């Protein structure tokens, strides 16, 4: 006996999603703290249980309640800022190195005499 084949549509997932607003994340964290499970909230709202659990862990780190080696939000923000600054400084250094090389080449004698 043949089992019926289910026709499935291929859904293309968006590559980039707009993150959930901070207030929504805070509300999910508060609901977990009040006794709801991430799985329960995931069924009721859109984010996955894994995302909600991650938000709870991050909130605990930010509050100093968790010491598992993860970075706080403030540390992440500072690291991101420092990486951007490092990138900008490297670009500036490369530009200056190219300019110095160009000026050095322009100032080298071409082998002609000064008489």
Residue at 115 is within a domain: no
Per-residue confidence (pLDDT) for residue 62, from 0 to 100:
94
* pTM more than 0.85: no
Q: Which domain holds residue 50?
A: 19-70
Shared domain check, 77 and 41? no
Task: Tell me the two tokens of residue 31.
Answer: 């609901």
Q: Which of 47-51, 101-105, 111-115 has the highest mean pLDDT?
A: 47-51
Asked, for residue 7, whether it belongs to a domain, the answer is: no
Q: Tell me: pLDDT of 115 over 50.
A: no
DSSP annotation string for 25-44: HHHHHHHHHTT--HHHHHHH
What is the pLDDT, as a whole number, of residue 4?
A: 56
> Which tokens belong to 89?
């400084």
| Domain CATH code at residue 36 | 1.10.10
| In-domain check, residue 89 | yes
Is 91 found in the same domain as 65? no
Name the most confidently modeled range: 69-73, 74-78, 102-106.
74-78
């Amino acid at each position: 006996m043949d089992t019926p084949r289910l026709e499935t549509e291929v859904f293309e997932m968006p590559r980039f999603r707009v993150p959930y607003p901070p207030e929504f994340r805070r509300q999910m964290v508060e609901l977990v703290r009040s006794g709801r499970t991430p799985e329960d909230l995931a069924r009721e709202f859109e984010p996955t249980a894994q995302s909600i659990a991650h938000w709870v862990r991050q909130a605990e780190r930010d509050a100093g309640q968790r010491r598992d080696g993860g970075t706080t939000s403030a540390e992440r923000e500072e690291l991101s800022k420092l990486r951007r600054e490092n990138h900008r400084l490297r670009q500036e250094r490369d530009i200056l190195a190219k300019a110095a090389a160009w000026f050095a080449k322009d100032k080298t004698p071409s082998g002609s005499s000064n008489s």
